[in-house]
Amino acid sequence: MGLAAIVAAGETRRPIVDVHLHTHAADRFGRPGLPNPITGKPSAATTDDALMHAAFTEMRKFNIVAAVGFSSRDAVERWRTAADDHIFGGAQIDQGLPMPDLDQLRRDIVAGKVRMIGEIGGQYLGLTPADPSLEPYLALAEELDVPVGFHTGIGPPNAPYECCPKFRIGLGNPALLEEVVIRHPKLRVYLMHAGWPYLEETVALMSVYPQVYADLSVIDWIIPQEEFYAYLRALLRAGLGKRLMFGSDQMIWPEAIGRSIETIERAPDVTTAVKRDIFYNNAVQFFRLKERELKPWR
């Protein structure tokens, strides 16, 4: 039975943690109503409120009990306070967003408003993960023991021409993170998008540094399914099944949440136990989540 049929039949779904969900405004990419890159159609949610509530509806439907949300500070706080404790705040560093103020970020982490630093989209800014401008944020994360998430892999078509003139493919290579984890040995790091298509570098980094996890966000719905399944199988063959986490990478298309879940649920030759690790157990371990934080939506 597919996930849609399970929901329709009213069967209880096991809880999910989404470690990669954006809390963007509807015009984050220039204007509301941009078409979904897969369906070619815009989301029905074209205002800030509609987008937020559509994402919450999907979270309820699929029993996503917690999601790590990131965008600008104001956008994250708006979703976090509206989500009845189901959104854990992140501090995004990326093209088109103001760099987080370090003093404010420290206060937000201490207050529990921010639970991780990321998405760090240095690739879009022309930065390596070890760039000196990012160092204060990594030092703060290590000091206060919060994870960091780095954008890895590639980006959208025409990125250097249309949004991010400093974007370069090579800056998404996960091997560049080795200097970060050597400099900050206590830092918990996760590779967003699981480093795709840099398979060998992803496996090498995660094999040597057990504090490095990976999320499957965006590649679980935006690349061809057979390519995703081949990449997932390769990561599992390499023995990394206990460090892969589910992420939807909902940007301004809430329908991506269900699509990404269904892609992993249908993954061939992946056991139910491994899928449960990806959907829930690994994130609980990595983020050190408490059972009281992971209650169903009311």
Give start and end residues of each alpha helix (H) in the chain: 3-9, 48-61, 73-82, 102-110, 122-125, 135-144, 159-162, 178-183, 199-208, 225-237, 255-265, 272-276, 282-287
Given a cut of 80, whether residue 6 has pLDDT beyond it is: no
Contacts of 29 (CB under 8 A, 6+ apart): 163, 251, 252
Distance CA 288, CA 243 (A): 13
> Above 80 in pLDDT, residue 189?
yes
Average pLDDT of 216-239?
98
Indicate the range of 44-48, 62-66, 186-190 predicted with least confidence. 44-48
10: pLDDT strictly greater than 50: no
- When pLDDT is averaged across residues 268-287 and rounded to a whole number, the result is 97
Question: Residue 226: pLDDT above 50?
Answer: yes
List Cα–Cα distances, 96 to 191, 211, 292, in angstroms: 21, 30, 35
CB 202 within 8 A of CB 189: no
Q: What percent of the chain has pLDDT over 70?
A: 96
Better-predicted residue by pLDDT, 5 or 214: 214
CA-wise closest residue to 153 among 123, 116, 118: 123
Torsion angle of C-alpha atoms 8, 9, 12, 15, degrees rounded to 10:
-30
- pLDDT, mean over the chain: 95
**Entry pTM:** 0.95
Kindly state the average pLDDT of the residues 125-136: 98
Q: Token digits for 285? A: 């371990």
| Domain locations in the chain as residue ranges | 14-293
Q: Which pLDDT score, from 0 to 100, does residue 31 have? A: 86
Q: Give the pLDDT band (50/70/90) at residue 1.
A: very low
Please give the average per-residue pLDDT across 126-140, as a whole number: 98
pLDDT above 90 for 7: no
Radius of gyration of the CA atoms of the chain, in A: 18
- What integer is the mean pLDDT of 217-225? 97
Homologous superfamily of 14-293 in CATH?
Metal-dependent hydrolases (3.20.20.140)
pLDDT band at residue 23 under the 50/70/90 scheme: very high
Residues 119/70, Cβ–Cβ less than 8 Å? yes
Q: Are 80 and 87 in contact (CB under 8 A)?
A: yes
pLDDT score of 115 more than 70 = yes
Rounded-to-integer distance, Cα 96 and Cα 170, Å: 21
**Rounded distance between C-alpha atoms, residue 82 and residue 86, angstroms:** 9
State how far the Cα of 189 lies from the Cα of 118, in Å rounded to an integer. 10
**Given this model, what pLDDT does residue 11 score?**
53
197, 198, 204, 206 alpha-carbon torsion, rounded to 10°: -60
Residues 200-214, mean pLDDT to the nearest whole number: 98
Closest-CA residue to 155 (of 51, 29, 42): 29
